[in-house]
Amino acid sequence: MFPRIREDIRSVFERDPAARTAWEVLTCYPGLHAIWGQRLSHWLWTHGLKWLARLNSNLARWLTGIEIHPGAIIGRRFFIDHGMGVVIGETAEIGDDVTLYQGVTLGGVSWNKGKRHPTIRDKVVVGAGAKVLGPFEVGEGARIGSNAVVVKAVPAGATVVGIPARVVQEAHEPSEKVVAIAKSLGFDAYGLTRDMPDPVANAIGSMLEHIQVLDERLVQVCKLLHQMDSRMPELELSKLELPDFCGQTSIASSSAAPDPAQTGPKVRRAV
């Protein structure tokens, strides 16, 4: 129990610059008190003590202004900042490292029993006053703007705002191949974090992706030509040599035999 409480307190320090001491966090953060109350309620709920679970959750609501149904499934390091007015429904599921601000509702839009509340994946942030309504999924790392009303699934990494919520920023993840090439070049294809978009990094990432596609097409074309006429050489696997500033690393890449005339001063190919 104590390691979990320590973990909860640490997660507050990571996400609230106003937090000063562990004692202050322990005593003055209703979001934490509500989560601890919910852990007890959930245990009671899953052990058949449903009325006691509801009673405990109601007491926690009186004390904190946060209403979490005992049936909700909540992951680790969940943080509700400020908290007043938060409502989390019975069939809501919340992953790890999720942050909610005051006034958030994770609610349903139907009176049917069964799954009717959203599933919030890891590292999602839901802004103050946002309403997420329905049994859909909010993808990992998504961000929901304050006062948004979300009524359909949100892709991982996206930022959504407005009523009804619309995507204003989509996460663009490079393919595995491009990541591998970029790594061997000593370059971060993910272009730093989403909070610090780097246009140069993004441009290089797109070019690497484009080169990768062209290489694959070229290999296919040469294979076909070789099948039609065996005098045509098959494409050989060669290496992409790096410019001097990238050090000595080199990566395997498909390319025709090198043509010194076409090798530029920066990046060139060699067998």
Distance of alpha carbon 208 from alpha carbon 245, whole angstroms: 17
Closest approach of ligand COA to the CB of residue 194, in Å: 8
Overall residue count recorded for the chain in this entry? 271
Query: How many residues bind to ligand COA according to rule CB under 6 A?
Result: 13
**Residue 87 or 256 with smaller CB distance to ligand COA:** 87
Closest approach of ligand COA to the CB of residue 148, in Å: 6
What string marks each residue from 34 to 63 as x (binds ligand COA by CB under 6 A) or -? ------------------------------
Asked if 52 and 32 touch (Cβ cutoff 8 Å), the reply is: no
Closest approach of ligand COA to the CB of residue 193, in Å: 11
The answer to the question of residue 161 lying near ligand COA (CB under 6 A) is yes
Contact region for ligand COA (CB under 6 A) — 27-35, 90-98, 143-151, 226-234? Answer: 143-151
Helices (H) and strands (E) in the chain, counts: 6, 18
Distance of alpha carbon 205 from alpha carbon 224, whole angstroms: 29
The answer to the question of residue 168 lying near ligand COA (CB under 6 A) is yes
**Residue 80 or 208 with smaller CB distance to ligand COA:** 80
Strand runs labelled E in 23-139: 67-68, 73-74, 79-80, 87-88, 93-94, 99-100, 105-107, 119-120, 125-126, 131-133, 137-138
Closest approach of ligand COA to the CB of residue 145, in Å: 3
3-state class (DSSP) for residue 63: helix
CA 138 to chain centre: 10
Element housing 166 (H / E): strand 166-169
Give the DSSP letter of residue 244. Answer: G
Closest approach of ligand COA to the CB of residue 18, in Å: 10
The answer to the question of residue 85 lying near ligand COA (CB under 6 A) is no
Rg of the chain over all Cα atoms, to the nearest angstrom: 26
Distance of alpha carbon 194 from alpha carbon 27, whole angstroms: 34
Contact region for ligand COA (CB under 6 A) — 38-46, 159-167, 203-211, 253-261? Answer: 159-167
The answer to the question of residue 31 lying near ligand COA (CB under 6 A) is no
Position among 15, 39, 65, 147 found at the interface with ligand COA (CB under 6 A): 147
Enter the tokens of residue 221. 């074309």
Distance of alpha carbon 257 from alpha carbon 125, whole angstroms: 51
Contact region for ligand COA (CB under 6 A) — 4-12, 65-73, 145-153, 229-237? Answer: 145-153
Residues in contact with ligand COA by CB under 6 A are 82, 101, 127-128, 143, 145-147, 159, 161-162, 168-169
